[in-house]
Amino acid sequence: MVNIVIYRKNGALHGFEVEGHTGFAEAGSDIVCAGISAITQTAIIGLIEVLNVDVKLAQKKGYLTCVLPEGLNEETKEKTSIVLETMVLGLKKIEDNYGDFLVIEEKEK
């Protein structure tokens, strides 16, 4: 089971954490895990390489966390929100179809 926590601050998406393994299929054949990884990694690439945001990032086998820095200007906050809210929509679509293998929760920080 993969647990995904979406962190919000005053309603705005501030970061996320992904932990666990889906167990849907063997490593290398697990489409649920691959989908989660592709969506979260693409969001991180967008934040870092497209928007030039210096996110706090930690990653190891079965674990990923990404948190936005404090003090972003309003334009950058708006753009990061678009990237991260799109990520959440993609993850929720996976949850709709494979809910036995992942859980998404939202927490206010």
Domain span at residue 14 reads: 2-100
Would you give the distance in Å from CA 7 to the centre of its chain? 10
Q: Which of 99, 108, 73 is nearest to 3 (CA)?
A: 99
Give me the CATH number covering residue 78.
3.30.70.1490
Output the pTM of the full model: 0.93
Residue 105 covered by a domain: no
- According to DSSP, residue 41 is labeled H
Residue 11 covered by a domain: yes
Residue 75 covered by a domain: yes
Residue 27 has pLDDT above 90, yes or no: no
| Digit-coded pLDDT (tens) for 59-92 | 998 899 999 999 999 999 999 999 999 999 999 9
Residue 12 covered by a domain: yes
Residue 109 covered by a domain: no
Q: State the pLDDT at residue 26.
A: 82
Whole-angstrom Cα distance, residue 13 to residue 10? 8
Number of structural domains (the chain) is 1
Pairing of strands 102-108, 2-9: parallel
Residue 107 covered by a domain: no
Residue 108 covered by a domain: no
